[in-house]
Chains A and B, each alone.
Chain A
Amino acid sequence: MEHVDVVCPFCGCLCDDLEITVEEGHITGIKNACAVSRSKFLNHGSHRITSAAVDGKKASMKKAVKEAVEILSNARRPLIYGLSSTECGAISKAVEIGEVTGGIVDNTASVCHGPTILALQQVGESKATLGEARNRADMVVFWGSNPTAAHLRHIVRYSVMPKGMYSTEGRKGRKVIVVDVRQTGTTRLADKFVKIKPNSDFELLQALRATVRGDELPVDEVSGVPMKEIKELAEEMKNCKFGIVFFGLGLTQSEGRHMNIDAAVGLVSELNRHTKFVLTPMRGHYNVAGANTVATWQTGYPYAIDFSKGYPRYNPGEFTAVDLLASGEVDAAMIIASDPAATFPADAARHLAKIPTITLEQKTTPTTMLSKVVLPVATAGVEAEGTAYRMDGVPLRLSKLVEPPKGIHSDEKVLDMILEGLKEVAQ
Chain B
Amino acid sequence: MKDIVIKGGYVYDPLNGIDGEKVDIHLSDGKVVEKTKKNAKVIDASGKTVMPGGVDLHSHIAGSKINIGRLMRPEDHRKDEVPKGKYTRGGVGYSCPSTFVTGYRYAQMGYTSVMEAAMPPLGARHVHEELIDTPIIDKAAFPLFGNNYFTLKYVRDGDQEKLNAFVAWMLRATRGYAVKIVNPGGVENWKWGRNVYGLDGKVEDYDITPRQIVTSLAKANEALGLPHTIHLHCNNLGMPGNYKTTIETMEVAKAIKPKKGRKTTIHVVHCQFNALAGDNWMNVKSGAPHIAKYVNGNDHVTLDMGQLIFTDTTTMTGDGPWQFALWNMTGNKWVNSDVEMEAGAGVVPYTFKKNNPANTVQWGIGLELALLIDDPWKVYMTTDHPNGGPFTYYPKVMAWLMSRQARTDTMRELNKAVLKRTSLANIYREYTFNELAISTRAGTAQALGLKDKGHLGAGADADVAIYDLDPTGWRPSQYKMLEKAFASAAYTIKGGEVVVKDGEVVSTPLGATHWVDVKIPSEVEEDLMKDLAEDFKKYYTVSLRNYPVEDEYLPIQKVHKTRGAWK
Decide: B83 and A132 in contact? CB cutoff 8 A. Answer: no
**Stretch from A291-299, A331-339, A417-425 contacting the other chain:** A291-299
Q: Tell me the chain A residues, 255-306 only, with Cβ under 8 Å from chain B.
A: 269, 272-276, 278, 292-294, 296-302
Chain A residue contacts of B130, Cβ below 8 A: 297
Q: Tell me the chain B residues, 514-567 only, with Cβ under 8 Å from chain A.
A: 538-543, 545-546, 550, 552
A317: shortest Cβ distance to chain B, in Å? 13
Chain B residue contacts of A122, Cβ below 8 A: 333
Decide: B81 and A297 in contact? CB cutoff 8 A. Answer: no
Q: Tell me the chain B residues, 64-102 only, with Cβ under 8 Å from chain A.
A: 64, 67, 70-74, 77, 81-84, 89-92, 96-100
Is A21 in the interface zone, CB < 8 Å from B? no
**Stretch from B118-126, B451-459, B504-512 contacting the other chain:** B118-126
Decide: A300 and B98 in contact? CB cutoff 8 A. Answer: yes
Decide: B64 and A393 in contact? CB cutoff 8 A. Answer: yes
Q: How large is the interface on B (under 10, 10 to 19, 20 to 34, 35 or more residues)?
A: 35 or more
Decide: B538 and A165 in contact? CB cutoff 8 A. Answer: yes
**Stretch from B51-59, B335-343, B399-407 contacting the other chain:** B335-343
Chain B residue contacts of A274, Cβ below 8 A: 193
Chain A residue contacts of B193, Cβ below 8 A: 272, 274-276
Decide: B126 and A99 in contact? CB cutoff 8 A. Answer: no
Decide: A132 and B81 in contact? CB cutoff 8 A. Answer: no
B77: shortest Cβ distance to chain A, in Å? 4
Is B377 in the interface zone, CB < 8 Å from A? no
Is B483 in the interface zone, CB < 8 Å from A? no
Q: Tell me the chain A residues, 386-405 only, with Cβ under 8 Å from chain B.
A: 387, 389, 393-397
Decide: A397 and B550 in contact? CB cutoff 8 A. Answer: yes
Is A236 in the interface zone, CB < 8 Å from B? no
Q: Determine the distance from Cα of A289 to Cα of B149 in the docked complex, in whole angstroms.
A: 26
Is A131 in the interface zone, CB < 8 Å from B? yes
Chain B residue contacts of A309, Cβ below 8 A: 81, 83
Decide: B543 and A99 in contact? CB cutoff 8 A. Answer: no
A372: shortest Cβ distance to chain B, in Å? 28
Decide: B122 and A300 in contact? CB cutoff 8 A. Answer: no
Partner of A296, one of B67, B89, B123, B149: B67
Is B202 in the interface zone, CB < 8 Å from A? no
Q: How large is the interface on A (under 10, 10 to 19, 20 to 34, 35 or more residues)?
A: 35 or more
Partner of B129, one of A16, A126, A395: A395
Closest chain A residue to B335 by CB distance? A124
Chain B residue contacts of A62, Cβ below 8 A: none
Decide: A312 and B129 in contact? CB cutoff 8 A. Answer: no
Chain A residue contacts of B363, Cβ below 8 A: none
Closest chain B residue to A4 by CB distance? B545
Decide: A121 and B84 in contact? CB cutoff 8 A. Answer: no
Decide: B546 and A395 in contact? CB cutoff 8 A. Answer: no
Known contacts A88-B129, A300-B92; A292 and B541 CB within 8 A of each other: no
Is A314 in the interface zone, CB < 8 Å from B? yes
Is B327 in the interface zone, CB < 8 Å from A? yes
Chain B residue contacts of A125, Cβ below 8 A: 335-336
Q: Determine the distance from Cα of A128 to Cα of B552 in the docked complex, in whole angstroms.
A: 27
Closest chain A residue to B190 by CB distance? A276
Partner of B543, one of A17, A132, A135: A17
Partner of B338, one of A129, A294, A299: A129
Chain A residue contacts of B190, Cβ below 8 A: 276
B554: shortest Cβ distance to chain A, in Å? 13
Is B334 in the interface zone, CB < 8 Å from A? yes
Decide: B539 and A311 in contact? CB cutoff 8 A. Answer: no
Partner of B77, one of A163, A300, A396: A300
Q: Which residues of A contact B (CB under 8 A)?
A: 4-5, 7, 16-17, 88, 92, 96, 99, 117, 120-132, 134-136, 157-158, 163-166, 241-242, 269, 272-276, 278, 292-294, 296-302, 307, 309-314, 385, 387, 389, 393-397
With contacts A131-B541, A312-B81, A312-B91 known, what are 9 further pairs, Cβ within 8 A? A5-B545, A121-B73, A123-B334, A128-B337, A129-B541, A164-B538, A273-B328, A298-B98, A312-B98
Which 3 pairs across A and B sit closest by C-beta, in order of nearness? A131-B340, A300-B92, A276-B193
Return 30 A-B CB contacts under 8 Å, by A number. Answer: A5-B546, A99-B89, A122-B333, A125-B336, A128-B336, A128-B337, A129-B340, A132-B191, A132-B338, A134-B541, A135-B341, A165-B538, A242-B192, A272-B193, A272-B324, A293-B126, A297-B62, A297-B70, A297-B98, A298-B91, A299-B98, A301-B70, A301-B74, A309-B83, A311-B91, A312-B77, A312-B98, A393-B337, A397-B125, A397-B546
Q: Which residues of B contact A (CB under 8 A)?
A: 62, 64, 67, 70-74, 77, 81-84, 89-92, 96-100, 122-123, 125-126, 129-130, 133, 149, 190-193, 205, 324, 327-328, 333-341, 347-348, 538-543, 545-546, 550, 552
